[in-house]
């Protein structure tokens, strides 16, 4: 049976989080009537992550595993998951278990009101002071350059309709700007407060440079694209 919902989880050296992720997602979606699949995308891990994904698949056949043969980054891993699934509904989670899978049913229920639901961790963020400051700086720059003020575009906890990705191409940095690109394409986007948890296993892959400063660099290209992209227009056909 094909899945109606694909949950995409990019992972890089997250061997200790794969099996707990499966079990938390399965518990969260125990009452979900739609068939779903959990798609781990291993971004060239050098630990036992790929072995753990194979174990997860043996434990639950709804698990799929995709692997990059070299490390390509979080945006590439998310895009690989999107491109290799066909479900009309998509969800994403970070592989570090800081996103709470228990939030998924609540966010899925909101898809009747919007096309793209993204989590907002700002009220309960369990990150270091430095990471919170870098996120605040990036938010101000995005608001200034793009005229959109999302509180937390970096939150990976999202659920959305596949159709909301119309006209969006993959690029390095995509995962940081996806809510803005969706809104810029004319789709209804909504932020909702979500639970955020401290990391309990593995090591963070991000610092100030590859979060705030690289995000500021990406603003140049995204700002140009937002100004020049073709907008959706209503079309009438002669019958």
CB 43 within 8 A of CB 11: yes
Mean of pLDDT values over 209-215 = 57
Map tokens 């390095």 to a residue: 172
pLDDT at 65: 98
Residue 222 in this model has a pLDDT that exceeds 80: no
Number of H helices, E strands in the chain: 8, 7
pLDDT at 214: 64
Name residue 99's beta-bridge partners. 196
CB 182 within 8 A of CB 118: no
CB 153 within 8 A of CB 176: yes
pLDDT at 51: 98
Mean of pLDDT values over 148-159 = 80
- Greatest Cα pair distance, the chain, in angstroms, is 61
Model confidence over 91-102: pLDDT tens digits? 999 999 999 999
Most confident of 40-49, 123-132, 206-215: 40-49
Higher pLDDT pick, 72 / 174: 72
Residue extents of the structural domains in the chain = 5-228
Distance from the first to the final alpha carbon of the chain: 38
Residue 144 in this model has a pLDDT that exceeds 90: no
Pick the CATH number of 5-228 from 3.40.50.1860, 1.10.730.10, 3.90.550.10, 3.40.50.300: 3.90.550.10
Least confident of 31-45, 105-119, 178-192: 178-192
pLDDT at 233: 75
Name residue 38's beta-bridge partners. 7, 63
CB 125 within 8 A of CB 196: yes
Residue 143 in this model has a pLDDT that exceeds 70: no
Higher pLDDT pick, 219 / 164: 164
Q: Is 14 helix (H, G, I), strand (E, B) or coil?
A: coil
% the chain with pLDDT above 70: 76
Residue 129 in this model has a pLDDT that exceeds 60: no
Higher pLDDT pick, 47 / 173: 47
Mean of pLDDT values over 10-19 = 97
For residue 166, give the DSSP letter: T
Residue 66 in this model has a pLDDT that exceeds 70: yes
Exposure of 191 in the CB half-sphere (CA atoms within 13 A)? 18
CB 209 within 8 A of CB 138: no
């Amino acid at each position: 049976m094909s899945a109606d919902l694909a949950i995409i989880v990019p992972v890089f050296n997250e061997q200790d989080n794969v099996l707990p992720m499966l079990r938390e997602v399965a518990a969260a979606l125990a009452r979900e009537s739609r068939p779903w699949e959990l798609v781990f995308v291993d971004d060239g891990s050098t630990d036992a992550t790929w072995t753990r994904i194979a174990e997860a698949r043996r434990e639950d056949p709804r698990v799929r595993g995709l692997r990059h043969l070299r490390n390509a980054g979080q945006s590439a891993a998310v895009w690989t998951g999107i491109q290799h699934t066909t479900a009309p509904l998509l969800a994403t989670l970070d592989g570090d278990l800081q996103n709470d899978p228990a939030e998924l049913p609540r966010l899925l229920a909101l898809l009747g009101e919007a096309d793209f639901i993204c989590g907002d961790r700002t009220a309960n963020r369990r990150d270091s002071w430095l990471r919170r400051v870098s996120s605040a700086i990036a938010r101000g720059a995005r608001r200034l350059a793009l005229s959109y003020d999302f509180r937390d575009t970096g939150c990976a906890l999202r659920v959305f309709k596949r159709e909301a990705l119309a006209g969006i191409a993959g690029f390095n940095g995509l995962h940081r700007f996806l809510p803005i690109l969706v809104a810029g394409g004319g789709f209804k986007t909504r932020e909702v407060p979500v639970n955020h948890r401290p990391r309990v296993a593995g090591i963070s892959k991000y610092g100030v440079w590859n979060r705030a400063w690289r995000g500021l660099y990406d603003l140049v290209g995204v700002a140009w694209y937002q100004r020049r992209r073709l907008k959706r227009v209503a079309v009438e056909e002669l019958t």
